[in-house]
Structure 1
């Protein structure tokens, strides 16, 4: 039976894709205040963490079991700062018992003994650790937190000594452009397997950084990307999170490492709300329900916004994304950003739209007319 959309239009309901991934924010708070953060969470305090209304172990178990019936294979823990969540070791073991792959995005300034032991127990997994600069003062300034670099560096050594796979990650800005290669050298010395470079997104505090011209102009960014790859050499794997249309043929084999598989993913917020991802913390139009009152199966199969997403992406993407050769793989980049900026799910990704406006989008990546 067709599902009713806002405005009275309809979308034909179909079984839909499997729900392979959950992006879980176990807490809405963070102990840092990074200048580029697209979510800009409130600063964590003991009082806030103690009072936060979050899922308990029974609720988490129920979510996992429901999601596995829909095809779940893995969970990403992100933030806020997930390592602040006191029940995280227990939650990780529950997911591990179900054979789920788990990976993490963390600033790694906190690492309790129980959490380290649990991470070691449930390995293999991937822990992506934010490190913005090799200079502790610059890193701490970008993170608005004195001592952050020292804490992260110390905990990195603990993870790697325990045999865990670690990736270093950063958000590229003018203030750390020249630190990328030294960070690659540091990754090699520490034993990290890769370095991921994210572009500054115009959401949250990242939007303020762009407005203040603290990011890189597109032409400079693209030139830097090309030059960096020629100089990278034998350092740990470099993953540069540019849209696939801007990657050379030899880089395409690693393109999946930067792909957001939005059609098979749900975001789960600390209070149990469901969304595309963490965007639901401040964009109510991308709330799909709450696991405390809603079952996953009807939300995943029949929620109007998810049905609209599947109808529009990739076939109804507009602008340069609709004309792109890679639209069926890339899926229009970050759909959360498109909704945040334009209020719909089919608008072109801001980076590609701006590149086309400037004449920088590769003509060879347009779909044949």
Structure 2
């Protein structure tokens, strides 16, 4: 697969709908039960998948929401994308929409993977976060039914103050469930997520170091979302140990940021660098997804690490990491600003610190502005 992120994204997410029966605390879309009347139609969706195939064989497409299974054309879209050579995956909500029969039909259509969300290791913790009693049990059942249907399962988990203490127990659940991947998402405060409390930068680095150890010891794969500093943490730890060069290369290859290896098509057709960076580059109703990704000024600017500002702009890890452009945008309105979750301060940097109202002075000490 072509890994040139200027030519194709590693991940393309299509938000089929914002309709969902849950009211999750972290919901980016601030989802509601009803569907939007201007969602991309089945035929428009097929046209989008045809354009997406222009990126090349094996392009990963994630059907998301809301709850994508609210739509009754999902199996048709999965089959259509699979026939085009796309790798079709889905992230349904933990509700009764994920029936065994529906999963069998999705498997027959060629679904390559299903991702479910676990934000607590117990029914009480998970259901409180998801805003729906019974969500934990439905999620565990859905994972079991997916495996029975031959669909590999990925587990997604949000990291914030409310879930931090649950991570070790969720790790154990991921192992017990036989999941192939644990995707750990570090909160970006948009949508209902604005009401949640993020962990602080030092805690974030500590969690990422722990996740690095987890990745070495568990049979499932591990990736982070909106946490590109994970690659900096891994590289720093590797430089102090005998970690293999191959492992460092894996972290380098799989790391992406909004607009650079990642694209998001909203439910009404607008194209964003990420679902967590709500600045539109245009609509697939007007231009092809390949043209928007490759040529739009917004996406091109996000792929230029020389555009980074603040301490991210002078960081020696900026090509490897790049910082969360979504979190920078959520904090400042500027997608090129420094990532406020990263505690690393480059040697010789003099300027503001994005996680506080302080700055580094000329003598290297931190002072109030």
Matched, 1:64 2:60: no
User: How much is the aligned-residue C-alpha RMSD, in angstroms?
Assistant: 3.0
Counterpart contact for 1:195–1:238, Cα < 8 Å: yes
CA distance in structure 1 between the aligned counterparts of 2:270 and 2:169, rounded to whole angstroms: 40
How far does residue 154 in structure 1 lie from its aligned partner after superposition?
1.0
How far does residue 350 in structure 1 lie from its aligned partner after superposition?
2.1
Which consecutive unaligned segments of at least 5 residues does structure 1 have? 1-15, 360-369
* TM alignment of 1:236-275, pairs within 5 A: 236-241=220-225, 242=227, 243=229, 244-247=231-234, 248-249=237-238, 250=243, 252-255=248-251, 256-260=253-257, 262-275=259-272
* Alpha-carbon displacement from aligned partner over 1:250-283 (angstroms, at most 9, x marks no partner): 4635524453362344321111222223247xx4
Which consecutive unaligned segments of at least 5 residues does structure 2 have? 346-352, 357-369
Secondary structure of the residue that 2:161 maps to in structure 1? coil
Counterpart contact for 1:160–1:190, Cα < 8 Å: no
CA distance in structure 2 between the aligned counterparts of 1:274 and 1:67, rounded to whole angstroms: 13
CA distance in structure 2 between the aligned counterparts of 1:338 and 1:176, rounded to whole angstroms: 22
- For 2:365, the equivalent position in structure 1 comes to none
How far does residue 156 in structure 1 lie from its aligned partner after superposition?
0.9
CA distance in structure 1 between the aligned counterparts of 2:32 and 2:249, rounded to whole angstroms: 39
CA distance in structure 1 between the aligned counterparts of 2:300 and 2:106, rounded to whole angstroms: 36
- For 1:22, the equivalent position in structure 2 comes to 12
- For 1:97, the equivalent position in structure 2 comes to 83
* TM alignment of 1:252-331, pairs within 5 A: 252-255=248-251, 256-260=253-257, 262-279=259-276, 283=278, 286-296=279-289, 299-300=292-293, 302-310=295-303, 313-330=304-321
How far does residue 149 in structure 1 lie from its aligned partner after superposition?
0.7
TM-score by length of 2: 0.77
**Does 1 or 2 have the higher relative contact order (CA < 8 Å, sep 6+)?**
1
The worse-fitting range, judged by mean Cα deviation, of 317-326 and 215-224 is 215-224
* TM alignment of 1:1-369, pairs within 5 A: 17-20=6-9, 21-37=11-27, 39-44=28-33, 48-49=34-35, 52-71=37-56, 73-109=59-95, 110-113=97-100, 115-123=102-110, 125-210=112-197, 215-227=198-210, 230=213, 233-234=217-218, 236-241=220-225, 242=227, 243=229, 244-247=231-234, 248-249=237-238, 250=243, 252-255=248-251, 256-260=253-257, 262-279=259-276, 283=278, 286-296=279-289, 299-300=292-293, 302-310=295-303, 313-330=304-321, 332-352=322-342, 354-356=343-345, 357=353
How far does residue 97 in structure 1 lie from its aligned partner after superposition?
0.6
CA distance in structure 1 between the aligned counterparts of 2:186 and 2:317, rounded to whole angstroms: 19
Of Structure 1 and Structure 2, which has the larger fraction of its residues in helix? 1
* Alpha-carbon displacement from aligned partner over 1:6-45 (angstroms, at most 9, x marks no partner): xxxxxxxxxx9323453200002222122123x142321x
Q: How many residues align?
A: 327
Secondary structure of the residue that 1:290 maps to in structure 2? coil
Counterpart contact for 2:155–2:174, Cα < 8 Å: yes
